[in-house]
A = this chain, B = another copy of it.
């Protein structure tokens, strides 16, 4: 388990090889997943400017290595819980791009039938158990899913993603203590991108590492990982998942990263100190991972083949979503209850 990993490494570490503990297949998967997230989010961004998407959305451009690394380490029947910044975590579980783009466009083909929007992406069939838009709530909910796995001895784990700002709300504390006391197979992942909405996390947090420095309060080891390096993330994820599946209980992991765009589409991010974004752009996970694959001897056409395939998939999904009609008005009266309806009286 990476403990307080030092400065970021641009090159893979010396002993790393294409077919080391991670292996080529996983690496190509992570390459694809990172691209899917990046491409879909850039497309969403464009669609906003074409006014085809309303409401809000929160991009994770710059943070893709985290979702890709964890996603690649998960079993298909594992559970993901994430936030309004959840396109990434939902996509890496295999959710439909059309369903996602369509949802943001408010179309009938949307994965939530137009009822949830960007902040509530969910694909239960693929283990994406929901995106939660009230800070902190999904941490105890993820613990509950892990409780089911423990109770039924299924070997599943629940992975729960949230931001640095989330570590200051009460539900964080309750969930962590609860999960440890019940020894639940849940892995809490704090994506520390340095900011809550517009306020630097350092201005509102009593400790330097908002998650890792709190692990002590639950008897957990302090774990920090380079969140821009998918391989490092994959390793830390695998270790935590193995521990959880083996009955070793929860983990709390802090992944250091940065979001390139503002908090949400309304935010031009003028609060950032000059040069900060540029520094982080140098550590962009995607060119870095591309270079690593080439350094490992993966052929350029394999690498770019995946790029092209992803772009094509995103294009197709976009067209499909555009072609989909808006949801029928009657659908607003569906699915409040298990019987499919919305009636509160007879």
Contact = CB atoms under 8 A, between A and B. Distances in A.
Interface of A: 136, 168-174, 176-178, 180-181, 203-207, 213-214, 216-220
Q: Nearest 10 CB-CB pairs, A to B?
A: A170-B170, A173-B173, A180-B206, A217-B217, A216-B216, A206-B218, A214-B217, A177-B206, A206-B219, A170-B174
Contacts of A178: 168
A174 B181 contact: no
Contact of A207 (B136, B173, B217): B217
A104 to B, nearest CB: 32
A245 to B, nearest CB: 20
Most chain B CB inside 10 Å of its own CB: which residue of A172, A174, A220: A174
Contacts of A206: 176-177, 180-181, 217-220
Nearest to A178: B168
A174 B169 CA distance: 6
A220 B114 CA distance: 47
A317 B304 CA distance: 87
26 contacts: A136-B170, A168-B173, A168-B174, A168-B177, A168-B178, A169-B170, A169-B174, A170-B170, A170-B171, A170-B172, A170-B173, A173-B173, A173-B174, A176-B206, A177-B204, A177-B205, A181-B203, A181-B204, A181-B205, A206-B218, A206-B220, A207-B217, A207-B219, A213-B217, A213-B219, A217-B217
Nearest to A136: B170
Contacts of A207: 217-219
Nearest to A216: B216
A269 to B, nearest CB: 23
A181 to B, nearest CB: 6
Nearest to A250: B206
A244 to B, nearest CB: 16
Nearest to A213: B217
A174 B203 CA distance: 15
Contacts of A203: 181
A172 B172 CA distance: 11
A344 B303 CA distance: 69
Given A170-B174, A173-B173, A216-B217, 8 more contacts: A169-B170, A176-B206, A177-B206, A181-B204, A206-B220, A207-B217, A207-B218, A213-B219
A173 B172 CA distance: 9
A169 B172 CA distance: 10
A222 to B, nearest CB: 10
A110 to B, nearest CB: 33
